[in-house]
Amino acid sequence: MSAVALLVLSFFALMFFNVPISVSLVLSSFFTTFYLGLPPMVMVQRMADPLDNISLMAIPFFIMAGQIMTESGIAKKLVDFSNIFVGHVRGGLSFANIVASMFFGGMSGSSVADTASIGSVLIPEMVRHGYDRDYSIAVTVTSSTEGLVIPPSHNAIIYAYAAGGLSIARLFLAGAIPGILIGLCLMVPAYVIAVKEGYPTVPRIKGKEALKIVLDSSWGLFTIAIILGGVLSGVFTATESSVVAVIYALLIATFVYKGLSRDGFFRVLRESLTTAAAVLFLISSATAFAWLLAYLKVPDAVAAAILRVSHNKYAVLLLINVVLLFLGMIMDMAPLILITTPIFLPVVKQVGVDPIHFGVIMMMNLGIGLCTPPVGNALFVGCVVGKRKIEQVTKAMFPFYVAMVGALLLVTYVPSIAMWLPSLLR
């Protein structure tokens, strides 16, 4: 028990002193290794093991594809495309924000990239049309979580690895409808507030102008079709699809949209390498930490404690959701997936929950954490882009938090929302 306390308390103590999460995971793991008298080489091997996995190679390439799209201005074209369908509704720019996030998130797989790209285009535009700045930031930040579950999502790849090698294709399909559901739920408070505040509409886009926008944005939207079509048809694996996505994004950004300069390309390389290195090091350090938890039989103890409370599937899922919502407020998404999956997955399996279904629940749940202080990366980026303090924006976020939790509960207790498309693949 003292080893468990050392592992957990040293980790949180290091985080309290602003040591990066990945470094905190490594240091606390080595402290505990020395305390247990295990050879330090065991930790080194555990850190190296996850990197020898071809599926994880998809992550840096999906990150790079998202960076290319961000740099080349594809987000603006997706906003224009979304305006064709929802711009004329009361508060139409907020709806366009939500719909554009569905498309852009489906290509980048990153809520932070989505917030930065869509936000830099739409937050100033919404403010210029008379929308409250805090409301504009809140819509942008919360809608960015759609991309965490709408395929392709590199978080789904991380979960598939942590769960012991689940089908990435089935996970991608499972996230499609829940991702759209998040957007639909967010539209409810967005519309209510827009009507109450009398926010404006934008003129309906018709005829040749609408056709031109559709044709112009179709090149970017086709990225999703290439990735999903290739993976689901078996033409290429998820890893191969990520490479194809990079090549295709590079071609359309350079020769079709002509929005990627030489300096922009080098920025893409720098940002992609930095982000990919951070993610892979995080996976490496979290895997070592999770191995120590398993070695100390923490998952067994947690499972026994939860099942002592109840064996009812719905009660167990509610309890796990509450725990994940709390953890998501204080830790980032990727390490939580890697650390908590080995703990909670055996529990939900015992009560009859499909691992694919639980993966979608986990990603939706932890996505809420990206929008909440104190550790909410999407919220931080949204506040920087929107030029507001976090405490000012948080109040405007509450109606959207309620909508996101509502979407989470729907997916949790109506499994067919997530499992219908994967059942067709099977």
Long-range CB contacts (< 8 A, 24+ apart) of 310-314? 311/351, 312/351, 313/351, 313/352, 313/353, 314/413
Q: Band of the pLDDT at 182, cuts 50, 70, 90?
A: very high
Q: What is the mean predicted confidence (pLDDT) over 289-317? A: 85
Between CA 415 and CA 19 the distance in angstroms is: 39
Per the structure block, which two tokens stand in for 161?
């690895």
Residue 16 and residue 28 in contact, taking contact as beta carbons nearer than 8 Å:
no
Long-range CB contacts (< 8 A, 24+ apart) of 315-319? 316/347, 316/348, 316/351, 317/348, 317/351, 317/353, 317/361, 317/412, 317/413, 318/412
Per the structure block, which two tokens stand in for 111?
């809520």
Lowest mean pLDDT among 232-236, 299-303, 369-373: 232-236
- Helix ranges (H only) for 129-237 are 133-143, 146-149, 154-162, 168-197, 207-233
More confident residue, 240 or 316: 316
Q: What is the mean predicted confidence (pLDDT) over 3-21? A: 85
Residue 124 and residue 300 in contact, taking contact as beta carbons nearer than 8 Å:
no
Q: What is the mean predicted confidence (pLDDT) over 312-340? A: 87
Percent over 70 (pLDDT), the chain: 96
pLDDT at residue 308 tops 70? yes
The set of residues, in sequence order, having a beta carbon less than 8 Å from that of 367 and lying 6+ positions away, is 111, 145, 148, 149, 182, 328, 333, 404
pLDDT at residue 426 tops 70? no
pLDDT digits (tens, 9 = 90+) for 335-356: 889 888 988 998 999 999 999 9
Per the structure block, which two tokens stand in for 369?
């954490």
Q: Is 415 left (phi over 0), alpha (psi -120 to 50) or beta?
A: alpha
Lowest mean pLDDT among 36-45, 153-162, 232-241: 232-241
What distance, in Å, lies between the first and last C-alpha atoms of the chain?
43
Long-range CB contacts (< 8 A, 24+ apart) of 156-160? 156/359, 156/363, 157/55, 157/56, 157/58, 157/59, 157/62, 157/238, 158/56, 158/59, 158/283, 158/334, 158/337, 158/338, 159/337, 159/341, 159/359, 159/362, 159/363, 160/55, 160/359
**pLDDT at residue number 243:** 84
Residue at 11: amino acid letter? F
Q: Band of the pLDDT at 93, cuts 50, 70, 90?
A: confident
Nearest alpha carbon to residue 361 among 372, 373, 374, 348 = 348
pTM for the full predicted model: 0.82
Mean pLDDT, the chain, whole residue set = 84
